[in-house]
Structure 1
Amino acid sequence: MLLYNIESIAKKLQSDSEVLSHIEHMATRGAGREDKLRLYIKDLLPQKFSVGNGIITDVNGTQSKQQDFFVYDAFNSPVFLKYETSIVIPVESVYATVEIKSTLNKNTLSQSINNIKSVKELKISALINSPFIPNYHNQIFGSIFAYTSENKIETIASNLQELCKSVPKSNQPSIICILDQGNIINVDKNGLKQICTMPSEQTTWCITKNKEEINLYVFYLLLQQHLNTTKNFPPDLLAYANNSHALDGLQLVVPKEILPDDASISLGDATLTGEELKFMDEYKDIFFKVSTNQLTAEDVIAKGISADELVPICKRYTDLINKTLFPK
């Protein structure tokens, strides 16, 4: 049943592409093809996934290049910025990115590889609360989808090998789909039969040539297989806020009435406990009057302390001042 649906989508994609080919403005033509592919793929995905286009960013503020199409967590992903049809989202929420090309050649292939690399290089700062962590988490499926190519798929595979020489395996594409020719996928080097969704040192490129519906089917299968086997953890939003200095002006005040005794507060190079701070606040007036020879018997009585307690209190206050001014 799914294959019949994919076959229908493949025909629609080609039909839409032919209609859009009559638009002379290249950017408009390309945007139309991107929109069609996003729409069809979204309809095939479970509801927990959403699709979009725009910029992907990380906790350090580094941004990817503009992405044609990405799949992200529909339930847990914040959208940092939305402008017209483009969005900016955290890398932790992204499952896959797809570079869409009307026609693939060596130049557009190089651009696509660099765009995918710009996403995979981003730093991931995820909130992981579970002791169980799956083998595959927060990995991004990088792919290229082209309606056609100026060259044979064998030439594109050769170009791919050349262009990826200086790109780490982990940052390389997972699949290149040329709709009217075939797919370039990763297979295990041992036996050359096991299809792999993620490139690694144990994989190599392999070419498959089929009809359009099978080519799209393979592309979808690898994408969905990745989505099924990868767990994404939510972004650490406090880390994003801190690193972007969004909280720099935030004032944190803990009233002394609720300050825990075992709290620790840094004062320059010194560290005082909550109990020590409350002690200093409690007896600051007494210590000031002792230091300036203004203390009276009425002051001591009003404070509810005895003359015998006064000396230890002043000594401890002096010690805490010295601890603050001359930390060890």
Structure 2
Amino acid sequence: MKKLISPYFSAVTRALDSEVFLINSLSSHQGVKGSANEQALINILEKFLPKKYSISTGIVIDRHGVQSRQCDIVIYDAFNYPEVFGQTPIKFFPVDFVYAVIEVKTNLDRNKLLEACENIRSVKALDIVRDSFRVVPTEAAEEISDDTVIWENVTTTKPQGFVFAFGSKAKSFETFEKWLEPRESIELAPNHVFCLDQGFLVNHPNKVLGFPCLLINEEGTEFYSNEDYDPVEIDGHNWMVINGSRYPVSETGQYKVAIDQSKVLLEFISILNKMLSLKTLSSRIDVYNQYLGSLLEQKFSLQDGELCAHKI
């Protein structure tokens, strides 16, 4: 299986990398580049995420009318949410139907990561409807025993937040890791940060865990470093050309190592899919009552020829 999976995701990553390279070479306008790169990632997600997730871009709102900043990618529940706020050029998404938001960066640096963190914070700070409800067990029927909890109580949770970058200005993985400072409130911070030329970061309370995605040989026993191949500079970045393919180089400790971009992409899709499955939404939340209730509660009736106001 590994002989199939690895080349497959390498091909997917090369196609994505080529598309982004073409976009960036054809346009000098940063806004155009950013929007096109976001769409390139959306196209990938639409292919690899379950169809129950809808993907778009826009602004997240809560039932009080508070708005987030513009979000590059919004993953939401279109099955239970009628898009009553999606009929204008700028789409608005009720936070209670949003699984996750993703901030997309073409070339990440510390300031751009801080900006992405603030955008995610603006979403996670929104007021969700707190609802507790019961769900059925997920065990297969043959695994259910006398100790199985037949009903599990769960509570609605805030959307997940991710940062995805196609490249970075970091020469070393340590630099990339230090960009994500531990936040006082982990609830408002990004859950993960992924960068195709580095690896990924996991945000934990008071600690950031970093995982460089090294290119490993077919035997799975060694990684490729400057002891095997000399890095070459291409378009201002260091690369290693191995078996006819080029890989970005990152400094990790005493080594300059080749980064496996396909592994970063696979980790991103796998972790994103897992985190989305952990997000709790309540199908009992009614967008018309929760978000438009104040507009609907005022009623009028005609009694003996007179208009009478009622609050229902």
TM-score, structure 1 length as denominator? Answer: 0.65
Q: Is the 8 A contact 1:116 1:171 kept in 2?
A: yes
Q: For 1:178-197, list aligned pairs within 5 A.
A: 178-186=195-203
Instruction: Determine the structure 2 residue equivalent to 1:298.
Output: none
Judged with a 3 Å threshold, the aligned counterparts in structure 2 of structure 1 residues 181 and 58 are, in CA distance, closer, same or farther, namely same
Does residue 241 in structure 1 map to residue 246 in structure 2?
Answer: no
- Whichever structure has more helix as a proportion of its residues is 1
Q: Distance in 2 between matches of 1:5 and 1:39?
A: 17
Give the match's secondary structure for 1:42.
helix
Does residue 169 in structure 1 map to residue 186 in structure 2?
Answer: yes
Q: Is the 8 A contact 2:131 2:156 kept in 1?
A: no
Q: 1:142 aligns with which of 157, 161, 185?
A: 161
Q: Distance in 1 between matches of 2:102 and 2:115?
A: 12
Number of residues of Structure 1 aligned to a counterpart in Structure 2: 237
Q: 2:108 aligns with which of 96, 104, 114?
A: 104
**Amino acid across the alignment from 1:159:** W
% of aligned pairs identical? 26
Instruction: Determine the structure 1 residue equivalent to 2:242.
Output: none
Does residue 73 in structure 1 map to residue 77 in structure 2?
Answer: yes
Give the match's secondary structure for 1:21.
helix
Q: 2:41 aligns with which of 37, 41, 44?
A: 37
Deviation at 1:129, TM superposition (A): 5.6
Deviation at 1:41, TM superposition (A): 0.7
Deviation at 1:77, TM superposition (A): 1.7
Which deviations, in whole Å up to 9, do the C-alpha atoms of 1:167-210 show, x marking residues without a partner? 41111111111112111124xxxxxxxxxxxx4x4x73111112
Deviation at 1:136, TM superposition (A): 6.5
Q: Is the 8 A contact 2:133 2:153 kept in 1?
A: no
Q: Is the 8 A contact 1:125 1:236 kept in 2?
A: no
Deviation at 1:5, TM superposition (A): 4.4
Deviation at 1:26, TM superposition (A): 1.2
Q: Is the 8 A contact 1:141 1:223 kept in 2?
A: no
Q: Distance in 1 between matches of 2:5 and 2:59?
A: 31
Deviation at 1:65, TM superposition (A): 0.4
Which has the larger Rg?
Answer: 1
Instruction: Determine the structure 1 residue equivalent to 2:270.
Output: 221
Deviation at 1:49, TM superposition (A): 0.7
Q: Distance in 2 between matches of 1:134 and 1:214?
A: 36
Deviation at 1:60, TM superposition (A): 0.8
Q: Is the 8 A contact 2:129 2:156 kept in 1?
A: no
Does residue 20 in structure 1 map to residue 23 in structure 2?
Answer: yes
Judged with a 3 Å threshold, the aligned counterparts in structure 2 of structure 1 residues 135 and 212 are, in CA distance, closer, same or farther, namely farther
**Amino acid across the alignment from 1:239:** Q
Q: Is the 8 A contact 2:104 2:165 kept in 1?
A: yes
Deviation at 1:19, TM superposition (A): 0.3
**Amino acid across the alignment from 1:155:** T
**Amino acid across the alignment from 2:86:** L
Q: Distance in 1 between matches of 2:110 and 2:303?
A: 61
Which runs of no fewer than 5 residues in structure 1 stay unpaired? 187-198, 256-264, 267-328
CA RMSD of aligned residues (A): 2.7
**Amino acid across the alignment from 2:290:** A
Does residue 93 in structure 1 map to residue 97 in structure 2?
Answer: yes
Give the match's secondary structure for 1:251.
strand
Which runs of no fewer than 5 residues in structure 2 stay unpaired? 136-150, 214-259, 305-309
Q: Is the 8 A contact 1:94 1:138 kept in 2?
A: no
Give the match's secondary structure for 2:161.
strand
**Amino acid across the alignment from 1:185:** V
Deviation at 1:251, TM superposition (A): 2.5
Give the match's secondary structure for 2:105.
strand
**Amino acid across the alignment from 1:160:** L
